Amino acid sequence: MSGIGRHLLSIEDLDRAGIERILDRAESFAEVSGREIKKVPALRGRTVVNLFYEASTRTSSSFELAAKRLSADVVSVRSIGSSVEKGESLKDTVQTLSAYDPAAIVIRSPHVGAAALVAGWTAASVINAGDGKHEHPTQALLDVFTLRRRLGSLEGASIWIVGDVLHSRVARSNILALRRMGARVTVCGPPTLLPREIEALGCEAKPSLEGLSQADVVYVLRMQQERMREAFVPSLREYVQRYQITSTHLDARQLLMHPGPVNRGVELSADAIDSPRALISDQVKAGVAVRMAVLYELLVGSPVLEAVA
C-alpha cells in the first residue's frame, strides 16, 4: 500500500511506494504538458491557495501552473502587499484563507515547521513548498523524477550533494528521498557549512571533493552570497577554488543537477552549466508535472486514471 496522506509536509510522509506513485502520475501529466491544450479537468471547481512568505520564482510559478492545468481556481497570496505586512499572524492568515474552503494550501515560509502548523489550522490539504531550512519535498520529488527518467532506477546509485548543506532544505529533503529510493548519498562541503551529525540522516559527509569521480550524480547546491559575509567561508575565491564544480570534474558518465537559481561562476562554472551532463532545465520542466501529480494524489487520489485522459 503506497502511503500518501492528506498533506505533504515532509518526505517522511511518503514511503517508497508513495514516491513511485507520485512519479508515475507525473509521467502521465508530463504527457499532458506536451499537448497543445495543456489542461485536464481533474480539479475543476476546486480552489488552491498559494501562500508564499518568501521570494520564489520557479516554485510559485510551477505550483500555480500545475493547479491551473488541473483546472483549479488559484489564489496566490504573497507576504508583500498582504495583511501579513500589517502584522497578521500565520494562524489568522490561514484561518482567513480557509474561510474560502480551499482544497489545498501550498505554503512557503522562512520558518521550520510552518507547513505542519498550518495543517493543524485548516481543513485543506497542505503542501510544504519550503519551510525554512527544514524541507522542500516537491523539489526532491522532481529531482528524483528527473533522475529516474535518466537512470531508470536509483537503486545503488551514488549521489553527491555539494555545497552549503547547512542552510539547505533542498539537501535535507533530497537526502531523505534519495535514501528512500535506494541511492547512496554523500554530502560534501566546507565543514562550516555541513550540519554537525548530518550522518544521522543516513549519508556520508566529506570535507573535500576528493572521491567525487565515484559519483553517478553530482547535485550542486546554491552558495548564497551572504554566507561570505557571515564568515562561513574565508572568501568567495577560496570557495570557488576548492568546491566549484567545473566540466573537468565531470566525466561522460556523470550527471549534474542544481535546484536553481544558479550563481554562475560560484558553485558551478559556466562550462559545467552548459554541458550536456547538466539536467538543470529537465529539473525545471519536471516541476510542473510533479506538482500536478502531488496535487492530484492528495486531492483526488485513488486510481481515477480517466481524469487524466
Partner 1 sequence: MGAPLFCRPAELLIRGAHVLDPRAGIDTRQDILIRGGHIAELAVPGSIAAPDDCDVVDGTGKHLFPAFVDPHVHLRTPGQEHKETIASGTAAAAAGGFGAVIAMPNTSPPVDNASVLRALAQTADREARVPVGFLAAITRGQNGQELTEMAELREAGALGFTDDGRPVVSAGMLRKALQYQRVCGGVLTLHEEDPALSAGGAMHEGAVSARLGLAGIPSVSESTMVARDAALAIYERGRVHFQHLSCRESVAALAAAKEQSALVSAEVSPHHLTLTDESVRALESSFKMNPPLRTEADRTALVQALRSGLIDCVATDHAPHATHEKEVPFEQAAMGTTGLETAFAALFTKLVQAGELELSALVERMTAGASLFDLPQPTIGPGQLASVCLVDLRAGWEVGGRGYVSRSENCCFHGQTLRGRVLLTVAAGAVVFRAVSAALPAALTAVK
Q: Which residues bind partner 1 (CB under 8 A)?
A: 89-91, 109, 111-114, 116-117, 131-135, 169, 172, 195-198, 200-201
Write down the least CB distance from residue 45 to partner 1, Å: 32
Q: How far apart are CA 232 and CA 130, in angstroms?
A: 23
Write down the least CB distance from residue 197 to partner 1, Å: 4
Residue 296 identity (one-letter amino acid): Y
Write down the least CB distance from residue 147 to partner 1, Å: 23
Residue 276 identity (one-letter amino acid): P
Q: Which is nearer to partner 1, 198 or 307 (CB)?
A: 198
Write down the least CB distance from residue 132 to partner 1, Å: 6
Q: How would you label 190-205 residue by residue, b for 16+ Cβ within 10 Å and e otherwise?
A: beebbbeebeeeebeb
Cα 15 to chain center, whole Å?
17
Q: Which is nearer to partner 1, 113 or 260 (CB)?
A: 113
Q: Which is nearer to partner 1, 201 or 307 (CB)?
A: 201
Q: Which is nearer to partner 1, 90 or 151 (CB)?
A: 90
Write down the least CB distance from residue 90 to partner 1, Å: 7
Q: Which is nearer to partner 1, 118 or 293 (CB)?
A: 118
Residue 116 identity (one-letter amino acid): A
Is there a contact between 130 and 189 (Cβ–Cβ < 8 Å)? no
Q: Which is nearer to partner 1, 151 or 201 (CB)?
A: 201
Cell numbers at residue 114, please?
Answer: 510552518
Backbone phi, psi, residue 219, to 5°: -105, 110
Write down the least CB distance from residue 194 to partner 1, Å: 9
Q: How far apart are CA 111 and CA 19, in angstroms?
A: 25
As beta bridge partners, residue 104 has: 48, 125
Angle (CA) 125-38-53 rounded to 5° is: 40
Judged by DSSP in three states, 107 sits in strand
**Nearest-CA neighbor of 161 among 112, 203, 130?**
203
Write down the least CB distance from residue 112 to partner 1, Å: 5
Residues in the chain: 309
Write down the least CB distance from residue 208 to partner 1, Å: 20
Q: Which is nearer to partner 1, 109 or 138 (CB)?
A: 109
Q: How far apart are CA 268 and CA 177, in angstroms?
A: 24
Q: Which is nearer to partner 1, 10 or 62 (CB)?
A: 10
Judged by DSSP in three states, 58 sits in helix
